[in-house]
C-alpha cells in the first residue's frame, strides 16, 4: 500500500529537519549527498510499510538518525547507518547490496545493527549468546551500540502502541540492559529518559502522582534555587569567570527509586535538585585548579559536608565522566549538591563517548586510558567462557551500573573498583591466579579477612597460600564480573574433576562387590546419600564429602516406599522429568481472560508466589510462566527478578492480567523491619498490638539491641496489603519506634 499525500508531506518535513541537524557535521560537500542517498534507499525499501501506531515506517529510521546526530553527537557515517539500520532485516536488500552502494564500513555497521535487532526477538539463551557476540563489536566500533541505543530510545518514545505484555518485555530489556549501557557510555540524559519512560509505562499511576507533586512544588523549588544561586553568581562574576549556573530537578524515576529503596513518601525526599556550575576555563592554570578555585569560592558561602565530596577530576570515571561534586548546607537548612565542571566536561557528561573522543586530541588526561581499560575488561569478559549465556548476561550487567571507588596496590598503582567490592574482588582484578590463592589482605597495612569490603583510598596487598582454592561460598562475597566468572570457571572445572574421580571410585567399589552399575543401584544409593542425580553424587564423592563405608548395607536395604517417593520427585535415569509428574501446561490458556490467584482450580498449583519478592493480595503483580512446568510464578510488578526475567525470557511474561481472588481467604507470609530506641517492655507492646488489635499469626520475631538501639524483623501471615499497612501504621505509634517498613528481601 502506497503512502498518502499527507504521509509524503510528513516524511519530507522530517527528512528536511534531519538534514538541518546534519549541517553541523558535514566535512565535505559529498557528505550531504551520502546521507541523501541513504534516505532514498530507505524510502524505497520501506515503501508503504507502517508501524503498529499507523504512521509510515520510514519515520522511525529518520528519528533514530536525528537522535544519533542531535542527542549523541555522532557523524555522517552513523547517520547513514541509522537510516539503513532496518533495511537488511526487514526488506529484500542484503549486506552485499549495502557494501556495493555505501562501502564496507557502512555495511559492517548495518550488519551489526541487524544482528543486534535479532537478539531481542529470539529465545532467551540464544538471545544472551547473540548479545555476547554483538557486544564483541563494542571495542571495534562503539557506534553500533550507540545507534542501537538511539533505536531503543525512539522505540520507547513510541511504546504506547504496543500490547501490555510486549511493554513489559521491552521495558524490562530497557531497564535491565539499555539504561545501564547508556549510563556506562556516558549518555546520562538518554539514560534518564529511558528510565522515566520505563516507569511511565510500567507504573503509570505512580509516575503521574510524582509528576503532579513535582509540578505543585516547582514554583517553590525554583524560588529556592534562585535564592541559593544568588550569592554564588555574585562571587563568580566578581572573579571574572565565564559561567552558567542552573538547577537540575531529579528525574521522576530516580525520585521513585529512592522512595522504593527507603520506603518513604514523596514528601521525605529532600534532595529533589542539584546545582550545576559549568564554566569556560582560561588557558591557565589547569582545568583542575580552576574547578577547585570555584569550589573554594562556593564553600566560603555555604558550609560543605566533607564526607560527601566527590573528586572525579583527579580520577575520572571509567566512562570518562569528570566533575567535582560537593554537598553544602543551604540557606534553609537543607543539604544541596553542587556540581562543578568545565564546558568540555559538560559535553562529555551529556554526550558521553562521542564527545569523549572529540576532545581526545585536544587534552592529555586519563579519560582515554580509563575508557580503554573498561573496553578491555569488557572484551576479556566477552571472550571468557561462562557457565551459561544467561550467566554472562547477568555478569555483563554487573559491569555497567555501578558506582566506583579508587583503590591502590602496594606500589601505588590506582585501580578502579565498584562500590561494595571486597578484597577478594581486588585480588581477582590483579590476576585470577592471585584470586584463586587469596587467603587474606593487608588493607592500609592492617591484616584483614579476604571478604572485607574495601573503601576508596585503601591500599591493598593480597596474602596468598598454595593450600587455598576457591569455594562455592566465595560467590557470595564478590561483586565484580571478573571475580564471579573466574570462581565459576574454577568450580566448574573442579566439579568435573570430582565427577570423574567419584565415578571411578564408585565403579571400583561396585566391582569389588561384584555388582554392575544400574538404575536399580542408583534408585537405592541416591536417596540414601541425599543426592538428586548421579552427577551430584559423583561430585560429592570425588570431593570427599561422601564416603562409601555404608554402601553394602544400603544396597541390601529394601526401602521401596522411600525410593518410590524419591523418584516421583526427581528425574528418570536419562535425566528427564517424568511425564506423569509434570504439571499440565495447558492450564495457562485462559483465552485472554484475567487469571485469578487463589481461585478454585482443578490444577494445583497453577500459581506459585515468587520467593524473591513475596507478593501479597493488594500488591500489583505480573505473571511469569515457567516453560518447564507451565506453572505461573506471581511477582510484584516492582520486583528486580521479574525485570531480569522479562529482559531475558520476555516471551514467558503472561499477557493476561493477574488478579487476586476476592473469595478465597488465604494468609500470605510477609515480613516487616523495625528500628528504634530500646526500652523495657517494647517487645511486649509489639506482640500485644499484633495479637489483640489485628489477630495476626506471627511466624517468628528476630530483635537485637545494641547501644540503646534495637532493630529486627517480624515475619507474619496477612491476607491483604491493607492489613499490613494498617498494622505498620499502628506500630509507628508505639513509643520508641523510629522506622517501620516492609522487608522486601
Pair 351, 186: CB distance under 8 Å: yes
Residue 245 has pLDDT above 90, yes or no: yes
Residues 621, 686 contacting (CB under 8 angstroms)? no
Please state the rounded mean pLDDT for residues 609-616. 86
pLDDT on residue 244: 94
Strand-strand pairing, 273-279 and 243-249: antiparallel
Domain ranges of the chain: 5-202, 204-365, 369-463, 489-581, 585-660, 668-742
**Which 8-state DSSP code applies to residue 667?**
-
Q: What percent of the chain has pLDDT over 70?
A: 81
What is the CATH code for 204-365?
3.30.460.10
State how far the Cα of 155 lies from the Cα of 260, in Å rounded to an integer.
27
Higher-scoring residue by pLDDT: 658, 64: 64
Q: How many residues does the chain have?
A: 745
CATH number of the structural domain 668-742: 3.30.70.260
Query: Poorest-confidence range of 33-42, 137-146, 495-504?
Result: 137-146
Measure Cα distances from 28 to 31, 65, 737 in Å: 6, 19, 70
Report the topology of domain 369-463.
Ubiquitin-like (UB roll) (3.10.20)
DSSP for 271-328?
Answer: --EEEEEEE---SSS-HHHHHHHHHHHHHHHS-B-GGG-EETTTS--TT----EEEEE
pLDDT of residue 368: 42
- Distances in whole angstroms, Cα of residue 631 to Cα of each of 605, 627, 650: 7, 8, 16
CATH of domain 5-202: 1.10.3210.10
Q: What is the DSSP string of 97-115?
A: HHHHHH-HHHHHHHHHHHH
Cα within 13 Å of Cα(33), Cβ side:
4
Closest CA to 127 of 646, 487, 626, 481: 646
Decide if pLDDT at 670 tops 80.
yes
Rounded CA gap, 272 and 255, in Å?
7
- Strands (DSSP E) contained in 63-156 are none
The three-class DSSP label of residue 696 is coil
> pTM of the full predicted structure?
0.66
pLDDT at 726: 87
Q: 76 near 35, Cβ under 8 Å?
A: yes
Please report, for residues 160, 203, 288, 623, 709, the alpha-carbon distance to residue 646 in angstroms, rounded to integers and kept in the order given.
Answer: 18, 15, 44, 10, 41
pLDDT in tens, 176-200: 888 888 887 778 889 999 999 999 9
d(CA 279, CA 297): 14
Mean pLDDT of 471-480: 88
Distance separating alpha carbons of residues 167 and 172, to the nearest angstrom: 8
Active site residues: 89-90
Q: Is the distance from CB of 711 to CB of 703 less than 8 angstroms?
A: yes
Asked if pLDDT for residue 562 goes beyond 60, the answer is no
Burial zone of 434 (CB within 10 Å; 0-12 exposed, 13-18 middle, 19+ buried): middle
Question: What is the average pLDDT across 403-429?
Answer: 86
Average pLDDT, the chain: 80
Q: What integer pLDDT is reported at residue 370 of this predicted model?
A: 56
Q: pLDDT tens across 446-460, in order? A: 888 899 999 888 899
Residue 477 is classified by DSSP as G
pLDDT of residue 620: 86
Q: What does the buried/exposed string (b/e) look like for 614-630 if buried means 16 or more CB atoms within 10 Å of the residue's CB? A: bbbbbbebbbbbeeebb
CB 340 within 8 A of CB 352: no
574: pLDDT strictly greater than 90: no
Q: How far is CA 29 from CA 20, 36, 62, 76, in A?
A: 14, 12, 21, 12
The mean pLDDT value for 206-226 works out to 91
Q: Is the pLDDT of residue 352 over 50?
A: yes
Check if the beta carbon of residue 718 is closer than 8 Å to that of residue 709: no
Which of 259-263, 325-329, 340-344 shows the lowest mean pLDDT across its residues?
Answer: 259-263
Q: With beta carbons less than 8 A apart as the criterion, state whether 413 and 494 touch.
A: no
| Average confidence (pLDDT) over 271-280 | 91
Q: Which of 361-365, 373-377, 404-408, 578-582 has the lowest mean pLDDT?
A: 578-582
Q: How far is CA 290 from CA 238, 239, 293, 300, 313, in A?
A: 15, 11, 5, 15, 11
**Three-state DSSP class for residue 75:** coil
Q: What is the mean pLDDT of residues 326-330?
A: 91
Q: What span, in angstroms and rounded, lies between the C-alpha atoms of 510 and 495?
A: 22
Confidence category of residue 121, pLDDT binned at 50, 70, 90:
low
Same fold, 5-202 and 668-742: no
Phi-psi region of 263 (alpha: psi -120 to 50; beta: other; left: phi over 0): left
pLDDT of 512 over the 70 cut: yes
Q: Nearest Cα to 172, choosing from 690, 680, 650, 689?
A: 650
Q: What pLDDT is attached to residue 603?
A: 43
Lowest mean pLDDT among 291-305, 325-339, 475-489, 601-615: 601-615
pLDDT value at 677 more than 70: yes
Amino acid at each position: 500500500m502506497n503512502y498518502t499525500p499527507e504521509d509524503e508531506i510528513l516524511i519530507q518535513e522530517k527528512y528536511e529537519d534531519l538534514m538541518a541537524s546534519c549541517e553541523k557535521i558535514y566535512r565535505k560537500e559529498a557528505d550531504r549527498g551520502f546521507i541523501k542517498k541513504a534516505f532514498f534507499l530507505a524510502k524505497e525499501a520501506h515503501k508503504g510499510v507502517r508501524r503498529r501506531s499507523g504512521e509510515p515506517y520510514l519515520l522511525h529510521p529518520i528519528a533514530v538518525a536525528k537522535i544519533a546526530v542531535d542527542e549523541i553527537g555522532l557523524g555522517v557515517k552513523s547517520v547513514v547507518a541509522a537510516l539503513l539500520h532496518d533495511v537488511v532485516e526487514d526488506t529484500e536488500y542484503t549486506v552485499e547490496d549495502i557494501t556495493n552502494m555505501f562501502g564496507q564500513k557502512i555495511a559492517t555497521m548495518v550488519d551489526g545493527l541487524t544482528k543486534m535487532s535479532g537478539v531481542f526477538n529470539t529465545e532467551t539463551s540464544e538471545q544472551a549468546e547473540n548479545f555476547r557476540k554483538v557486544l564483541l563489536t563494542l571495542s571495534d566500533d562503539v557506534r553500533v551500540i550507540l545507534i542501537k541505543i538511539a533505536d531503543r530510545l525512539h522505540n520507547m518514545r513510541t511504546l504506547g502502541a504496543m500490547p501490555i505484555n510486549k511493554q513489559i518485555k521491552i521495558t524490562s530489556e530497557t531497564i535491565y540492559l539499555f539504561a545501564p549501557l547508556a549510563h556506562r557510555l556516558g549518555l546520562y540524559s538518554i539514560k534518564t529518559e529511558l528510565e522515566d519512560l520505563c516507569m511511565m509505562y510500567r507504573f503509570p499511576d505512580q509516575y503521574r502522582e510524582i509528576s503532579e507533586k513535582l509540578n505543585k512544588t516547582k514554583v517553590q523549588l525554583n524560588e529556592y534555587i534562585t535564592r541559593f544561586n544568588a550569592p554564588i553568581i555574585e562571587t563568580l562574576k566578581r572573579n571574572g569567570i565565564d559561567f552558567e549556573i542552573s538547577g537540575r530537578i531529579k528525574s521522576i524515576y530516580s525520585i521513585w527509586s529512592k522512595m522504593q529503596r527507603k520506603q518513604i513518601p514523596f514528601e521525605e525526599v529532600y534532595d529533589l535538585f542539584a546545582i550545576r556550575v559549568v564554566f569556560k576555563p582560561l588557558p591557565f592554570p589547569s582545568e583542575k585548579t580552576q574547578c577547585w578555585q570555584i569550589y573554594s569560592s562556593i564553600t566560603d558561602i555555604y558550609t560543605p559536608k566533607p564526607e560527601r565530596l566527590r573528586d572525579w577530576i583527579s580520577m575520572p570515571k571509567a566512562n570518562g565522566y569528570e566533575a567535582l561534586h560537593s554537598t553544602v548546607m543551604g540557606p534553609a537548612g537543607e543539604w544541596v549538591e553542587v556540581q562543578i565542571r568545565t564546558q568540555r566536561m559538560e559535553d562529555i557528561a551529556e554526550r558521553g563517548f562521542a564527545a569523549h573522543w572529540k576532545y581526545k586530541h585536544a587534552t592529555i588526561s586519563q579519560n582515554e586510558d580509563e575508557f580503554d581499560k573498561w573496553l578491555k575488561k569488557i572484551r576479556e569478559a566477552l571472550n571468557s567462557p561462562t557457565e551459561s549465556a544467561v550467566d554472562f548476561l547477568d555478569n555483563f550487567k554487573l559491569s555497567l551500573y555501578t558506582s566506583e571507588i579508587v583503590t591502590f596496590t602496594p606500589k601505588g598503582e590506582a585501580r578502579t573498583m565498584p562500590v561494595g567490592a571486597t578484597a577478594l574482588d581486588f585480588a581477582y582484578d590483579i590476576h585470577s591466579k592471585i584470586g584463586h590463592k587469596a587467603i587474606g589482605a593487608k588493607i592500609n597495612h592492617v591484616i584483614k579477612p579476604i571478604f572485607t569490603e574495601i573503601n576508596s583510598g585503601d591500599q591493598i596487598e593480597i596474602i596468598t597460600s598454595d593450600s587455598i582454592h576457591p569455594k562455592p561460598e566465595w560467590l557470595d562475597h564478590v561483586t565484580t564480573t571478573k571475580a564471579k566468572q573466574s570462581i565459576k570457571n574454577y568450580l566448574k572445572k573442579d566439579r568435573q574433576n570430582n565427577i570423574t574421580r567419584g565415578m571411578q571410585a564408585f565403579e571400583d567399589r561396585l566391582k569389588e562387590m561384584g555388582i554392575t552399575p544400574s538404575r536399580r543401584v542408583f534408585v537405592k544409593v541416591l536417596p540414601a546419600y541425599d543426592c538428586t542425580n548421579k552427577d551430584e553424587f559423583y561430585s560429592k564423592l570425588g570431593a570427599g564429602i561422601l564416603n562409601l563405608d555404608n554402601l553394602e548395607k544400603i544396597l541390601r536395604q529394601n526401602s521401596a516406599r522411600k525410593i518410590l517417593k524419591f523418584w516421583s520427585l526427581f528425574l528418570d535415569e536419562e535425566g528427564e522429568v517424568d511425564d506423569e509428574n509434570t504439571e499440565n501446561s495447558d492450564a495457562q490458556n485462559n483465552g485472554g481472560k484475567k487469571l485469578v490467584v487463589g481461585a478454585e482450580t482443578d490444577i494445583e498449583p497453577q500459581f506459585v508466589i515468587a520467593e524473591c519478592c513475596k507478593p501479597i493480595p493488594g500488591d500489583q503483580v505480573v505473571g511469569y510462566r515457567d516453560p518447564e512446568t507451565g506453572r505461573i510464578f506471581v511477582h510484584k510488578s516492582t520486583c528486580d527478578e521479574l525485570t531480569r526475567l522479562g529482559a531475558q525470557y520476555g516471551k514467558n511474561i503472561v499477557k493476561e492480567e493477574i488478579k487476586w481472588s476476592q473469595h478465597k481467604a488465604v494468609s500470605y507470609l510477609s515480613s516487616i523491619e523495625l528500628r528504634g530506641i530500646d526500652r523495657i517492655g517494647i517487645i511486649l507492646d509489639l506482640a500485644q498490638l499484633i495479637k489483640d488489635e489485628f489477630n495476626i499469626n506471627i511466624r517468628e520475631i528476630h530483635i537485637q539491641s545494641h547501644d540503646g538501639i534495637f532493630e529486627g524483623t517480624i515475619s507474619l501471615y496477612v491476607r491483604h496489603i491493607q492489613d499490613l499497612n494498617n498494622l505498620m501504621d499502628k506500630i509507628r505509634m508505639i513509643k520508641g519506634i523510629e522506622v517501620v517498613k516492609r522487608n522486601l528481601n
